[in-house]
Structure 1
Amino acid sequence: MLRDLHRVLSTYWQQFLYVLPKLALALVLLLVAVFIANRLSKLLGTRLRGRAHDPLLADFLTGISRWVFLLLGLLLAMQVVGLSGVVTGMLGAAGLSAFVVGFAFKDIAENFLAGVILAFNRPFHLNDTVQIRDQTGHVEALNLRTTVIRTFDGKHVFLPNSIVLKEPLINFTRSGDLRQDFLISVDYGSEGRYEQVRDLVLDFLRTQPDVQQQAPRVPYLVLEKSGATTVDVRVYFWSSSEEYRRGALETKSELMQRIKNLLIDKGYSPPSLTQ
């Protein structure tokens, strides 16, 4: 029995020594393929960023190209080792493999295909401010499986691409302009009039550099409720949304405070302002 075991081990050892040069060559080819895949994907990414002017799409295509080059290198290494039958079987059974893999990894395949659609459809660009479900923030990356959003409080949210594709997506910065509004409740007394409040607020808004003044994006007021001595007025204005937090949120906050101080300075009772 020991002689048989020794004979079997000797046979395996001789076969290993016979295949060893091929394994070494395949390993070298695989390492070269990794190097070439990294260099070519970076070169392709640089060219895409220069021509497409869309870093989000360029990064996504760069990631795909890298995996394609790596797969080609792996197939070549298997061919050198002598696994040509395996390679042929893999290529010949591509349809069946795609079905089995697609069924087993349904979510992964779905997110990958959704990422491809998002990359070419482009409902958002890099650094756009978007809202998906209850998540609002800046788009930082579009990966093969996930879309990365950084919220205003610094959290990174990784959303599956399939959810981003299926769910309603609000892009606050795509057009560059955003209309906002807030409500003013003013007690103007027995001798005041709504027109006085309206003209006072409108004249103030027309002097603000952060408020757009070109038609049709001009500030205006809508009377929502009028009492004997009180009035509720909703103020509408347009501002830049390219930098959403500064151009929209802070601008609105500052306008509300300035209008409140203005009305107090003009002799009105402290007004109530709500969003």
Structure 2
Amino acid sequence: MQAQPPVDDKTKELAETLELAKVAPTSFSHVLEAVTGSMLDIWNAFLGHIPFFVAGLVMLLLTWGVSIVAGKFTRRFARKTTKRSSLHDLLVRLTRIVIWLLGLLIAAMILFPGLTPARALGGLGLLSVAVGFAFKDMFENFFAGILILWRFPFEAGDVIKCEQVEGRVEAVEVRNTTIRRTTGELVIVPNLFLFKNPCEILTDRNKRRFTIYVGVGYGEDVDAAVKVIENAVLGCEMVRDDEPIQIFPRAFGDSSIDIEVTWWGGSTPLQERASRGEVVTAVKRALEDAGIEIPFPHRTLTIRDATGVLQKEV
């Protein structure tokens, strides 16, 4: 056997480099082939899933159409059973919500064939808990709106007063209530605010009671003044005659005997202002015609010179 020549270090390094050069293209081709195969698998899976996407989309369109038709039938049924428009809107919204929930559940089961109703409901429960914590205020307003619509404390067109908000209700929605102030501004009030705070419904009835106070001089006949005021109030057109007028001396004022005058009029803000104006005008005119004094504060000015001598008194 012939002895092989000794291999130096440079020859070994060159051999290793050539070996790596042979292996590297082979490894890169394997990686490229694997990536291409994965992309093809994903594309083929997507193409194979297209019918499920189409079926899910069709299901959503069908749900949309069914919700509209069911909403119309529900509104017709509600109109036959009750006259409250707020209850009509509530029943229609609840019907559409139920139909959309069922439609989304079926669409999800179509889109993901392995999804069962039990798994879907379980996932929906977990999702609802997470969404409930994330949108706590929104859901509180939503359920408060449902309770307001269901209990119907007020309807669109009623005039209400809640804390610093007073005006006519334009719309009662599931989350918010829009109120138009008597000065013209539109206020968007969360339903939770109306649900938690005391709310006065000024137009719950078609009549309200109003009160003013009239003062007559201490030198006047109080019984005669009460009779004059009563006749004046009875002669007002905007004072309702189906409720009693109540006139009572109330207290000893600083410069007059205070008389409380109470009557019933219309419930809207405009009717209130008009009725108050008519009654005040009629009472003042009647007391003046009867010669009964309506006292008012008098101011006396005394002017003295530097020596303290009185110069003028007004």
Whichever residue aligns with residue 197 of structure 1, its letter is A
Selected match of 1:75 from 92, 105, 128? 105
Deviations 1:148-178 (A, max 9, x none): 2222122222222222222111111213321
What residue number does 1:261 align with? 285
Q: Which amino acid aligns with 1:233?
A: I
The corresponding residue for 2:173 is 143
Contact 1:260 1:271 in 2 (8 A): no
Q: Sequence identity of aligned pairs in percent?
A: 27
- What is aligned with 2:262? 236
* Coordinate RMSD, CA, aligned: 2.6
Does the CA-based 8 Å contact 2:156-2:169 persist in structure 1?
Answer: yes
Superposed displacement of residue 212, structure 1: 2.2
Does 2:60 match 1:60?
no
Following superposition, the deviation at residue 80 of structure 1 comes to 1.8
- Deviation of 1:91 after TM superposition, in Å, equals 0.5
Q: Conserved in 2, the CA contact under 8 Å of 1:60 and 1:142?
A: no
Q: Are 1:21 and 2:45 an aligned pair?
A: no
Higher relative contact order (CA 8 A, sep 6+): 1
| CA distance in structure 1 between the partners assigned to 2:98 and 2:255 by the alignment | 73
Paired letter, 1:201: I
Structure 1 counterpart of 2:237: 209
Contact 2:256 2:295 in 1 (8 A): no
Please say if residues 219 and 236 of structure 1, whose CA atoms lie closer than 8 Å, have aligned partners that are also in contact: yes
1:218 is matched with 244
Q: Does 1:106 align with 2:136?
A: yes
Cα distance in 2 for residues equivalent to 1:6 and 1:73:
38
Give the number of equivalent residue pairs.
Answer: 266
1:196 to 209, 217, 224: 224
- The amino acid that maps onto 2:119 is G
Other structure's SS at 2:157 match: coil
Instruction: Identify if the C-alpha distance between structure 1 residues 32 and 95 changes in structure 2 by more than 3 Å, giving closer, same or farther.
Output: closer
CA deviation after TM superposition for structure 1 residue 21, in Å: 2.0
Partners of 2:174 and 2:255 in 1: CA distance: 61
Could you list the runs of 5+ residues in structure 1 that have no partner in the other structure?
none
Rg larger in 1 or in 2?
2
